[in-house]
Amino acid sequence: MDYRKKFVVEAGSEVRLHRLDPGYKGKHASHNEALPEIAKHVARMGQLQYVLYADGTQSLLVVLQALDAGGKDGVVRHLFSGMNPQGTTAVAFKPPSPVEAAHDFLWRAHLHAPAKGEVVIFNRSHYEDVLVVRVHKLVPQSVWSKRYKLINHFEKMLWANGTHILKFFLHISPEEQLTRFKERLDDPARHWKISEADYAERKLWPKYIAAFEDALEQTSTRHAPWYVIPSNHKWFRDLAISQIVADTMGDMGLKLPPTRVDIKDIRRKYHEAVAERVRVKR
């Protein structure tokens, strides 16, 4: 199945998240059954990232957004571990620092946008400025409502400069969120992730859903599409995203750069060096 077609938010379409099943898991019944396919896509992502880095003419930006416990960290950890850290960066967007807040809201996003040859993953992103900022009324509607158009212009500029953009909303149910909160409580190694704000934010679920729906509708474009990924099953989330990323990179027309040296001459020098090493050892 082509998950790019199944989960894409078509430009200009209406989004109603309650109509989309966060528990969808496709043809596979379990993680073990899906694991070989996930591994295949992750390996392909690693191979293509090598060529992207060598090619040095294009880049990839992956945006991850979700409600609390949606699985953004898991996606970064499980799917991008096969990429060379030399050309791959994950950026976590936290509340703006004083320096960031003193600039326009897109400044820090542009600061971390990928250079040619790079893959960058945004764990949260510039979309926080039409999500949490809206829900908590940190700026008036007259301000945040204009940001959709500014975001579209920003992403189109990146695209025009050779950056391919994939944006994923990790769609979970309120029940699944509670299950994951309990898992954090039961696992001392994850207690550091627990925050009282998690439960305060949970009460704002309907407002966040409305904000996400508007963001998805207003900013899913041909050059920077949104995908709504059913994420109650972590393994299916990984399967869908890995396929979409691998297929997108596969369509980028990536090629290894031409050889810059005379291979015959270099091979001759190599054999001379080997012969010299043998002579010295004797």
CA dihedral 164, 1, 123, 184 (to 10 degrees): -170
H-helix or E-strand spanning residue 266: helix 263-281
Q: How far is CA 40 from CA 35, 130, 147, 164, 197, in A?
A: 9, 36, 38, 22, 38
Mean pLDDT within 142-168: 98
Question: For residues 88 and 114, what is the distance between their CA atoms, to the nearest angstrom?
Answer: 9
Domains and CATH numbers, the chain: 3-281 (3.40.50.300)
Identity at 215, one-letter amino acid code: A
pLDDT score recorded for residue 193: 84
Query: In whole angstroms, what is the distance from residue 189 CA to residue 195 CA?
Result: 14
Checking if the pLDDT of 281 tops 80, the result is: no
Asked if residues 148 and 215 have their Cβ atoms less than 8 Å apart, the reply is: yes
Note the pLDDT of residue 270: 85
Q: Which of 34, 72, 20, 64 is nearest to 180 (CA)?
A: 72
Q: Note the pTM of the prediction, 2 decimals.
A: 0.94
**Stretch 213-230: mean pLDDT, rounded?**
98
User: How does residue 194 score in pLDDT terms, banded at 50, 70 and 90?
Assistant: confident
- Number of H helices and number of E strands within the chain? 13, 5
pLDDT at 35: 97
Sign of CA dihedral 4, 77, 125, 15: positive
pLDDT of 216 > 90? The answer is yes
Predicted confidence (pLDDT) per residue in 14-72, tens digit: 999 999 999 999 999 999 999 999 999 999 999 999 999 999 999 999 999 999 999 99
Binned at pLDDT 50, 70 and 90, residue 273 comes out as: confident
In 187-262, which residue ranges form alpha helices assigned H by DSSP? 196-202, 205-219, 234-250
- Dihedrals phi, psi of 58, to nearest 5 degrees: -135, 170
Instruction: Give the residue with greater pLDDT, 186 vs 34.
Output: 34
Distance between CA atoms of residues 181 and 129, nearest Å: 25
Helix (H) or strand (E) holding 73: helix 72-79
Q: What is the DSSP letter of 17?
A: G
Rounded to the nearest 5 degrees, what angle is found at the Cα of 215, between the Cα atoms of 209 and 220? 130
Give the model's confidence band at 138: pLDDT under 50 very low, under 70 low, under 90 confident, else very high: very high
Per-residue confidence band for 269, with pLDDT thresholds at 50, 70 and 90? confident
Rg of the chain over Cα atoms, rounded to whole angstroms, equals 22
Is the Cβ–Cβ distance between 69 and 114 less than 8 Å? no
The pLDDT value given to residue 220: 98
Please report, for residues 83, 122, 231, the alpha-carbon distance to residue 167 in angstroms, rounded to integers and kept in the order given: 19, 9, 14
If one counts every other C-beta atom within 10 angstroms of the C-beta of residue 57, the result is 13
CA–CA gap between residue 279 and residue 257 (Å, rounded): 36
Which comes out higher in pLDDT, residue 217 or 276? Answer: 217
What pLDDT shows up at residue 245?
98
The pLDDT assigned to 204 comes to 97
Position 182 scores a pLDDT of 92
Write down the pLDDT at residue 279: 81
